[in-house]
């Protein structure tokens, strides 16, 4: 069984379009995250949600809007896509960080903006 | 500014060699240090370290943390081609919220 899943795995789109990436975890975790990995493999946190509540928003353009309909899902919607948004986006989840710091990552979504 | 620095950036060795990967950090609100292995897809968890001087070991891999000097090392003995990957070091930062701050990774290539 997949612990953290993301769809789609690949996304190729034109500049200016709006797109969404979905993430689901079946681990019963309270906390979910979105990370962006650039071409140099540098992973950087974007957002963190705990029980559907936004707790971290790391200087991300407001074209990026996360939405958590329930604690097992954290989706990422991106408006007016730009070339610089091309990257691999990883979703992750963890138990309450006060109990465990380990994060489990999804397979990633490779976004290419043309 | 909080930062995590890994060295070397890349490394090429032959099967059977031993490698040491380095991770130094300057992070306020340090909670833990984690090592991940990333092949083609998702980073997979290797170790989490919270206490200085206690070695964690899993097969040919081991890691240790020095909280006084603010660094950690990851050792891989008797390397195999399957060890080829990017190794990521991350520091767990916790205040009222929690996040991982990643280094840029060390790309390891093990040649037969």
Chain B: closest CA distance from residue A18 (Å): 25
What residues of chain B lie within 8 A of the CB of A107, using their CB? Answer: 41-42
- Mean residue pLDDT of chain A comes to 91
Average pLDDT over residues A75-99: 91
Residue of chain A whose alpha carbon sits nearest to that of B40: A107
Q: Which residues pair with A54 in a beta bridge?
A: A49
Q: Where is A25: in which H helix or E strand?
A: strand A19-25
User: Which sign does the torsion angle of CA B22, B72, A29, A98 carry?
Assistant: negative
Report the pLDDT value the prediction gives residue A95, as an integer from 0 to 100.
86
Alpha-carbon distance values, B62 to B5, B6, B20, B21 (Å): 19, 16, 10, 11
More confident residue, A88 or A59: A88
Chain B: closest CA distance from residue A98 (Å): 8
User: Helices (DSSP H) in A1-114: which residue ranges?
Assistant: none
What residues of chain A lie within 8 A of the CB of B32, using their CB? Answer: 101
Strands (E), chain B: 3-7, 10-14, 19-26, 30-38, 44-49, 56-58, 61-66, 71-76, 85-94, 98-102, 106-111
What residues of chain A lie within 8 A of the CB of B97, using their CB? Answer: 48, 50, 55-56, 97
Q: What's B5's DSSP letter?
A: E
CA B71/CA B111 separation, integer angstroms:
28
**pLDDT in tens for each of the 112 residues of chain B?**
889 999 999 999 999 999 999 999 999 889 999 999 999 888 999 999 998 888 999 999 999 999 999 999 999 999 999 999 999 999 988 887 788 899 999 999 999 9
Of A45, A55, A102, the CB nearest to B45: A102
Q: Is B100 on the interface with A (CB under 8 A)?
A: yes
pLDDT value at A1 more than 70: no
Chain B: closest CA distance from residue A80 (Å): 27
């Amino acid at each position: 069984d997949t612990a953290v899943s993301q769809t789609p795995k690949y996304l190729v789109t034109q500049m200016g379009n709006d797109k969404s990436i979905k993430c689901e975890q079946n681990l019963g975790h309270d906390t979910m995250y979105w990370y962006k990995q650039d071409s140099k493999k540098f992973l950087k946190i974007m957002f963190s949600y705990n029980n559907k509540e936004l707790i971290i928003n790391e200087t991300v353009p407001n074209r990026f809007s996360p939405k958590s309909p329930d604690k097992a899902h954290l989706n990422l919607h991106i408006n007016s896509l730009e070339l610089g948004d091309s990257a691999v986006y990883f979703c992750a989840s963890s138990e309450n960080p006060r109990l465990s710091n380990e994060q489990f990552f999804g397979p990633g979504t490779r976004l290419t903006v043309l | 500014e909080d930062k995590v620095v890994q060295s070397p950036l890349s490394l090429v060795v032959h099967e059977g060699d031993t490698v040491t990967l380095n991770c130094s950090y300057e992070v306020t609100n340090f909670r833990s240090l984690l090592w991940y292995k990333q092949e083609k897809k998702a980073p997979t968890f290797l170790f989490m370290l919270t206490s200085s001087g206690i070695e964690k070991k899993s097969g040919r891999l081991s890691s240790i943390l020095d909280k006084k000097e603010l660094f950690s090392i990851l050792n891989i003995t008797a390397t195999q081609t399957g060890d080829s990957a990017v190794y990521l070091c991350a520091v767990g930062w916790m205040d009222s919220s929690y996040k991982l701050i990643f280094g840029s990774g060390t790309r390891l290539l093990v040649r037969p």
